[in-house]
Amino acid sequence: MIWRMIFKNCFFYFCKKFTLFSILIFVFSPLKMTGQETDSISYFSSRADSFFIFGHLRKADSLLNQALQLDTNRIDLKIQKARIQFERGKFFDLEDNLSYLMDSLNRDEPELIWLKASLLQHTFQFDDAIHYYKTYLRGLAPDDPKRELVAEKILRAASGLRIPGRRIDVLVENMGPGVNTEADEIKPIFSPNSLERLYFSSNRVGATGDRIDNEWKKDSVYGHYPLDIFQASLISGQFKEVRSLSEEINSSLNNIIMDFSDGGRVLFHFKGFSREIGRVFSDTFGISSAGSFRDNRFQSPFVPELGDKGLTMVNDSLMIFSSARPGGFGGYDLYISLFRDGKWLPAVNMGSDINSEWDEIDPFMTKGGKELFFSSNRLSSIGGFDIYHSHFFESVDRWGDPENIGLPISSAGNDRHFRIGLDGKTCAFSSDRKEGLGGFDLYLAYFRTEWEDHSKELSKEMIYTYFSPPIVISDTLKPDTLITDVEIPKTDTVIQERVIALTEIDSNEIFETEVIDSIAKTEIVPDSILASFFYDGEGNILYESNLNEAAKLARILSKNPDLKIILNSFSNNSDPLSRQLFFSIKRAEEIANELIDKGADDSRIKLRAYGNQFPIEQTENHEWHYDQLNRRVDIMWFEKGEKIEGPVRAERDLGLDGNLSKLRDLNVDNGLLFRVQIAASRSLFDHEILREQIPAVVERQMGNDFYRYLLGSERTFSSASALLESVHTRGFQNAFLVVYLDGRRLERAEINQLKENYPELKNFN
């Protein structure tokens, strides 16, 4: 009895002193760990700092979360959390955290100001970033060495203001977790023979060798693996099935792919204790076939033992690379070398038209020799290394001024290793932008128009700019086989990289201003909007009239919480359907993001893209207004699950022929409909099945990163089941049926409720 009373009194005293959460921590924590402070805040915090310093951000985040569980209000822990949130690209969480910290401290804490400025720069809010960088600068002593760094940051943010918005002629997507990891993935190179194979280097888990530190000593805790060379395959429209190349190529050193030559039969690859200093070998062994391995030192003007980097083989007889050798313009410069008479000629600096006092690295030149891409950290970049482009003008035998290739390829991070694939449209590059999966990630860029020079023969004029023409001493002696007598018209014009705002569509040319006074079920609202958002032939959709309509739409959604919308997007170009769908949904995303920025709830906005499958024009008539109307984003309205008419202004009768279908409310989606979902992807899904004569759409729920690709437009369960079975035989074993009613995707519970009214649903399981 006495012991029971003692236990009871101790228990109540314990409850007064500690919260329930503390009791749970006490009860369930291990009784014994590695040291006296193992379960303390300082232990978790210091360990988190160590992992953070060595670049293990996920582990650092996990440890710091354990410290925050013990004390959720400690300011120093929240500041530590803000550092990790920035490096991991958790920008929304970081913004909330910084607001809390700045309000709590009620003073200008330098680190918080720096983090705020960095956040604004990485989210392209350059004006505000400059303000915070200047605030940080004013707090530094006149002799503080950080002043130079801050001044550079201000200049780079100012460069961001001069770049005219995101390019809309290119789509950029992270290759996703099928390829990227928390480690570094760098140097993407397409197979010279196929866009369906991609080679790259990575220091991911599973690479050859042990975890090592910066001094090449084993470190199983904080160390990183060396780089190996990997291959990824394009499967069902996504790069995946990553595998390491053979151990004859990968070693315990850093192994970095350089390039291919001789039609892909020769692989150039780097080996070194560091990523910068080492040797380059040429491998004449077929990388995916059996045979004796032959690995030779590559003898050329490219000398990575002395720090040369970024070797690119334009063809078997021409190379460009980056070097910090004496005699340059400062930092790393680009050099070019030609193979002639059985040897490589001394490398020639590409000159002040290309090089600067800053670093120029990672060059890539199209096969015709007139388009040059490289990375540079010159002050016109908007972050670290941006990707630049220059065009060679044969009429004056010189390169044009390099221009930042712009958003969304360049970013506030480091953007490197840009390459163009066989088709002249599909490109790859690596970037350590914060919103990636960690470290450097691989990205794909899809240009709407081809870089035509990539399919041309090499320009004689460009070569003769750096190397004298071969001497022909008799009619029987052929000149260098590299130089050909192709007649090249001298009509090149500079490639315009800047986005030019085109003339807005005059709504008076298309619409009346009559206002529909009510919605089917919703109370009258004062706003009315146009039925569609139109975009021009270059993809520009965010011009003033559309922004005004988006603001009205956001107000309508705010005033009517039961309303939901689907933004249906259409195009009129002749690209492959997979790209049309993706390009179309990107236009809808731009409108959706405007709505969300103006306060609309993302859970009430869905997107659907049809590409050019449902044009307004169904005849051979190509008048301008038909093409214009085909490039549009329509609004589909729903209230409490039922399709309704929205508060739209009526459109003017265009006098369309009776054979033309406006499809303004997309009649094809009315009633009950079945589709087959074949994939869910965070990026472009490109598969041959989308090139067949099967209707296809792509959907996205705002707030969810995945694009859902669906096939078919079936009215009966039996025809839908037949399509599903056909899709299964094509390798899409995880494909499944989806049911729609009046354009809205139904959930399982809704389908069960509707089975009595719709006989086609009775066999749906």
Residue-wise DSSP of 374-419: EEE-STTSSSSSEEEEEEEETTTTEEPPPEE--TTTS-SS-EEEEE
Looking at residue 283, its pLDDT comes to 83
Name residue 679's beta-bridge partners: 709
DSSP 702-748: TT--PEEEEEEEESSHHHHHHHHHHHHHTT-TT-EEEEEETTEEPPH
Does residue 134 register a pLDDT over 60? yes
The backbone torsions φ and ψ at residue 707, rounded to the nearest 5 degrees and listed phi first, read -100, 130
Residue 367 scores a pLDDT above 80:
yes
pLDDT digits (tens, 9 = 90+) for 79-130: 999 999 999 999 999 999 999 999 998 778 999 999 999 999 999 999 999 9
Q: Look up tokens 């392209």; give the residue.
A: 124
What is the per-residue pLDDT across 216-268, written as a single tens digit (0 to 9) for each? 899 999 999 999 999 999 887 789 899 999 888 999 999 999 999 877 788 99
pTM for the full predicted model: 0.72
Is the confidence at residue 497, as pLDDT, over 90? no
Q: What is the pLDDT of residue 381?
A: 96
Task: Assess contact for 285 and 312: CB atoms under 8 A.
Answer: no
Give the H or E element holding residue 71. none
Task: State residue 722 phi and psi, 5-degree precision.
Answer: -65, -40
Residue 749, classified by CB atoms within 10 Å of its CB into exposed (0-12), middle (13-18) or buried (19+), is exposed
Which of 18-32, 111-125, 215-229, 624-638 shows the lowest per-residue confidence on average (mean pLDDT)?
18-32
Tell the residue number behind the tokens 């908007």, with chain if given.
382
Tell me phi and psi for residue 166, to 5 degrees: -75, 135
The pLDDT score that the predictor gives to residue 568 is 93
Strands 605-611 and 563-570: parallel
Confidence of residue 394 (pLDDT cuts 50, 70, 90): very high
Q: What is the DSSP string of 688-707?
A: GGGGSSS-EEEEEETT--PE
Q: Looking only at Cα atoms, what is the longest distance across the chain?
A: 119
- Element spanning 433, H or E: none
Bridge partners, residue 257, by sequence? 269
**Which is more confidently placed, 757 or 647?**
757
Distance CA 425, CA 454 (A): 10
Tell me the domains of the chain and their CATH numbers: 1-31 (no CATH), 171-466 (2.120.10), 507-761 (3.30.1330.60)
pLDDT over 90 (residue 525): no
User: In the numeric block, which tokens belong to residue 560?
Assistant: 């009517």
3-state secondary structure 330-345: CCCEEEEEEEECCEEC
Give 440-492 pLDDT, tens digit per residue.
999 999 998 899 999 999 999 999 999 988 755 444 434 444 433 333 333 33
Looking at residue 24, what is its pLDDT? 33
Q: What is the pLDDT of residue 580?
A: 85
The 10s digit of each residue's pLDDT in 157-197 is: 999 998 877 787 898 999 999 999 999 999 999 998 888 89
DSSP SS3 for 179: coil
Q: How far apart are CA 553 and CA 648, in angstroms?
A: 10
- Express each pLDDT in 556-583 by its tens digit: 999 999 999 999 999 886 677 888 898 8
Question: With bands split at pLDDT 50, 70 and 90, how would you rate the model's confidence at 631?
Answer: confident
C-alpha closest to that of 443 among 709, 244, 682, 745: 682
Q: Can you give 88-142 as a three-state secondary structure string? A: CCCHHHHHHHHHHHHHHHCCCCHHHHHHHHHHHHHCCCHHHHHHHHHHHHHCCCC
Q: At what angle do helices 57-70 and 20-28 cross, to 10 degrees?
A: 120
Residue 188 near residue 701, CB atoms below 8 Å: no
In this predicted structure, the answer to whether residue 418 has a pLDDT above a threshold of 90 is: yes
For tokens 């906005």, what's the residue? 605
Q: Is the pLDDT of residue 648 over 80?
A: no
Token reading at 167: 């390019």
Cβ neighbors of 142 (< 8 A, separation 6 or more) are: none
Q: What is the DSSP string of 657-696?
A: -TT----TT-GGGSSEEEEEEEEEESS----GGGGSSS-E
